[in-house]
Structure 1
Amino acid sequence: MGKEEELLVALRRVIRAVDLRSKQLSKHFGLTGPQLLVMQNIQEKPGIMVREIADNINLSPATITNILDRLEARDLAKRIRSTTDKRKVGVFLTERGKAAVQDSPRPLQEHFVDRFHQLKEWEQSQMVATMQRIATMMDAEDIDASPFLELGSISEKNS
């Protein structure tokens, strides 16, 4: 097997691990990875604005709006317009949403982050540079992506 094939197999394993975790989350808790990330952001800062959630998890405001539409339809979150500034809409979890976040499993990325922090500084920098280079080689620099290891199908990403 050539080096490029070894690299592609390793990338596929990473993608597969993230995908399996996302499917497990969806099956057992009824939430996609992106939905859970949005809900965790809301829990951390009740009344947070859509733009702020988007900035926090590196997804577009349109994607966050689609996710919120689905969460509201399931009575997990609600958007409330400010009484002092009608242009501002804060996002809050419902009681049902709070329970769902509390019951959710440990994210895959926490395990990854623990191991990553055990590496020496130069190893961390080398890994970041290598992955950024791979993203560039795959023309993926501008793809909407969260800094969390949760993944689903493209249709889930827009949910």
Structure 2
Amino acid sequence: MATGSLVTRAEGHAHGAVTAAAAHPTVEALAATAGTDGTLRLWDMEGRRCLSVAALSAPASCVAWSPDGSVLAVGSGEDTGGGFTREPAGAGTLTLLRADTLEAIHECSDASGSALAVKFSPNGALLALASADGRAYVYDARGGRFSLVYVLEHGE
């Protein structure tokens, strides 16, 4: 693998681009991908196969695992064909899913632009979403609440 050569080709996200990928924080052979086809997929990298698929409410632009690997955060927005850009109100969606079942446990659309990046704090207490609207949205992730606690304005 160190050579960078193609080991295998895994089929998935057939109707769109893969826009995000994240390795599981503790399980070496598990990864998640998300794409413009509006799906999140879990992959067994050793077995080289897709384990499960979740349909999302919009094209996905970013994905992150919680530090303990129990939750997946997916940022979405409208893909205009030229990438994820600033969009009308409600365009940026954050979806939280249970990693074991891919059941949606929380969804919100606080951002008025497409989600560009999503990241949990190292201790899992906070979750940050960067948006094309020029803001970062920070959520309290403790106890599965995912309540908005800060909006950081980047300005012009």
Normalising by structure 2, we get a TM-score of 0.20
Q: Which protein is bigger by CA-based radius of gyration?
A: 1
Normalising by structure 1, we get a TM-score of 0.20
The structure with the greater share of residues assigned to helix is 1
The structure with the greater share of residues assigned to strand is 2
Q: Whose RCO is larger (CA < 8 A, sep 6+)?
A: 1
